[in-house]
Amino acid sequence: MITRSLGATGPRVSALGLGCMGMSDLYGPADEQESIATIHAALDAGITLLDTGDYYGMGRNELLLREALRGRARDRVVISVKFGAMRDPDGAWIGMDGRPAAVKNFLAYTLRRLRTDYVDIYRPGRLDPTVPIEETVGAIAEMIGAGYIRHVGLSEVGADTLRKARAVHAIADLQTEYSLISRGIETKILPTARDLGVGVTAYGVLSRGLLSGHWSKERALPKGDVRNVLPRFSGKNVARNLTLVDAMRAMADEKGATVAQLAIAWVLARGEDIIPLIGARRRDRLSEALGALDLVLIAEDVARLETTVPADAALGTRYDAHQMRVLDSERESPAAS
Ligand SMILES: NC(=O)c1ccc[n+]([C@@H]2O[C@H](COP(=O)([O-])OP(=O)(O)OC[C@H]3O[C@@H](n4cnc5c(N)ncnc54)[C@H](OP(=O)(O)O)[C@@H]3O)[C@@H](O)[C@H]2O)c1
């Protein structure tokens, strides 16, 4: 397995990470035994970075991870945990809590659920607009001092927040959406992360399945699947966006690769400091994603792909209108997609 460093101060991890969210939440029903088998297959293939959030399935995703990691050496895996998003008993999203006391409280529950002594990378899933980021990061730093956390991470923040946070403590990585059709970070956020020695863990590399080559506009989404409200999956947008996938397929075919592999390989090619998080929840999907590591794109391929799928080619924003208004990462780059 190829490895990459997570920023200037973070751990060295596999060049692809496994994101576990869809195994417990947001993408419709998932098979728990297959999810565990997928995590095992990922570890066996050399993936060392596992990403979760305490709010994914309201604790269920962490419990799944704990089950999957039973009997495995704790120090062979880097566990990245997001916290801070609050939900009601129906699962509705009801805000963020980044207060220092909340940080410690969330962490205590996470450590119990994961049955571990420490979290490798701990990050607020979103900025809490009512709490200065310095205070949230300060509390994480305090927990690093106490031995419960190894590294600080951030998620979906803009360049200014990144700088403020970095002034308090070293930041291993920024987790943010980045794909051929979500390139907003390239203007300001990515250069700032690079300037500060902060790595990037990229999610939505397949745009939540849209760029996977397995999506069709006929696909019915179950209730509770977040893609029901994502503009890129709606009505005529999805039809237009799938024409981009057709164009990618022609290039993938030429290279003896799949569309998903091409999409992942493009992100891998965008910099040694970027680690794509793969949302596979089945072994066949994982195995396809791992194949992207064998697809090396030279500069000419990257340029051709970016002409085939221009930065602003997708119809629809990456989140709904409300999210686009409140995301810290979007506030600074209103034109970002
Ligand atoms: N920080 C944040 O705000 C944030 C937000 C979202 C996600 N994340 C993290 O990023 C991780 C990745 O999630 P994502 O939604 O960004 O993932 P993604 O890789 O863009 O999309 C995952 C979807 O693609 C489909 N897919 C089809 N072929 C695939 C293949 N070969 N490999 C993988 N997936 C394939 C999966 O399909 P089927 O399962 O239907 O087959 C799944 O529905 C999450 O698990 C989570 O840890 C972070």
> Is the pLDDT score of 335 beyond 90?
no
> Residue 168 C-alpha to ligand 1 middle, in angstroms?
31
Please name which of 119, 62, 116, 122 lies closest in space to residue 98, comparing C-alpha atoms.
122
Alpha carbon distance 337, 179 (integer Å): 10
> Is ligand 1 within 6 A of the CB of residue 208?
yes
What residue's CA is closest to ligand 1, atom 29? 285
- DSSP 8-state assignment for residue 126: S
**In percent, how much of the chain has pLDDT > 70?**
98
Residues 55, 56, 178, 319: which is the catalytic one? 56
Handedness of CA 222, 50, 129, 94 (dihedral sign): positive
Please name which of 181, 259, 147 lies closest in space to residue 213, comparing C-alpha atoms.
259
Ligand 1 atom closest to Cα of residue 82: 1
> Is the pLDDT score of 337 beyond 90?
no
Q: What is the CA radius of gyration of the chain?
A: 19
Cβ–Cβ under 8 Å, residues 166 and 172:
no
The three state secondary structure string of 12-79 is EEECCEEECHHHCCCCCCCCHHHHHHHHHHHHHCCCCEEEEECCCCCCHHHHHHHHHHCCCCHHHCEE
Which band of pLDDT confidence, cut at 50, 70 and 90, is reported for residue 276?
very high
> What residue type is 67 in one-letter code?
E
What residue's CA is closest to ligand 1, atom 42? 209
Question: Which whole number is the average pLDDT over 63-80?
Answer: 97
pTM: 0.96
Determine the pLDDT at residue 333.
53
> Is ligand 1 within 6 A of the CB of residue 27?
yes
> Is ligand 1 within 6 A of the CB of residue 84?
no
Question: Which whole number is the average pLDDT over 175-193?
Answer: 97
Q: Which residues pair with 199 in a beta bridge?
A: 173
Report the chain's terminal Cα–Cα distance, integer Å. Answer: 32
> Residue 278 C-alpha to ligand 1 middle, in angstroms?
6
> Is ligand 1 within 6 A of the CB of residue 96?
no
58: exposed, middle or buried (C-beta count within 10 Å: 0-12, 13-18, 19+)? Answer: middle
Q: Tens digits of per-residue pLDDT, 85-121?
A: 999 999 999 999 999 999 999 999 999 999 999 999 9
Annotated catalytic residue 27 = no
294: exposed, middle or buried (C-beta count within 10 Å: 0-12, 13-18, 19+)? Answer: exposed
Alpha carbon distance 18, 29 (integer Å): 18
Ligand 1 atom closest to Cα of residue 206: 20
Ligand 1 atom closest to Cα of residue 261: 31
Determine the pLDDT at residue 189.
97
Q: Tens digits of per-residue pLDDT, 114-171?
A: 999 999 999 999 999 999 999 999 999 999 999 999 999 999 999 999 999 999 999 9
Collapsed DSSP state (helix, strand, coil) of residue 240: helix
Determine the pLDDT at residue 179.
98
**What one-character-per-residue DSSP string does 181-228 give?**
TB-GGGTTHHHHHHHHT-EEEEE-TTGGGTTSS---TTPPPPTT-GGG
Determine the pLDDT at residue 336.
41
Q: Which of 64, 208, 274, when mutated, tests ligand 1's pocket best, judged by the most ligand atoms within 8 Å of its CB?
A: 208
> Is ligand 1 within 6 A of the CB of residue 155?
yes
Determine the pLDDT at residue 331.
87
Q: Tens digits of per-residue pLDDT, 190-201?
A: 999 999 999 999
Q: Which residues pair with 72 in a beta bridge?
A: none
- DSSP 8-state assignment for residue 230: -
> Is the pLDDT score of 224 beyond 90?
no
